Amino acid sequence: MSATVLVAIASGSEELETVTIVNVLRRADMEVELVSCEVAPQLTIRCARGMNLVADKHISEISTQAYAAIVLPGGMPGAANLGQCQPLVALLKQQQAKRQWLGAICAAPAQVLAKNDLILAAKVTGYPSFQDQLPAAQLQQDSVVVDAQHKLITSQGPATALEFALHLVEQLVGSERRQQVADAMLVTASEA
């Protein structure tokens, strides 16, 4: 395995984004830990559209392991729940201090990153109805925004989840691997 990525979920997380991210990263041969951020140490999470996902671990089981990236799916109230999870927020701050990648999609840039002062000077995007909660001077309208200087990848929502995940692959294991994964999934150039 070339990189370990933590994908955090909580009640109300967007399942399409979560499953797409985990699937694409695993296709790129990355180790992905799907981590429950529920207050009670439960692994089964009921997502925004009623699907149940089973996490690999609970946030209480996470130590100081180094992650190539920590990724936050959106969905409501999932993103708000993630933003209120203090152990996750502490991990995100450690990740940022180590200058390692953070990724957030949909409501997560606003509900997790902005609410916990984790955007700093990075360029950012998010779900349109949450964009007013993001720093106006740094807001971009692209479907996926990669700010390599600040090690932050953000995206707008469910329809952009595949593109977002492929950008994560590119930043974590290279453009050649991204292309291999995209080709194997029959992703056309306009979709990637």
Active site residues: 106
C-alpha torsion sign, points 157, 158, 164, 169: positive
Interatomic CA distance for residues 172 and 2, integer angstroms: 9
Residues sharing a CB contact under 8 Å with residue 54, sequence separation 6 or more, in sequence order? 34, 43, 44, 45
Question: Is 127 buried (19+), middle (13-18) or exposed (0-12) by CB count in 10 A?
Answer: buried
What does the block give as tokens for 53?
Answer: 């996902």
List beta partners, residue 57.
35
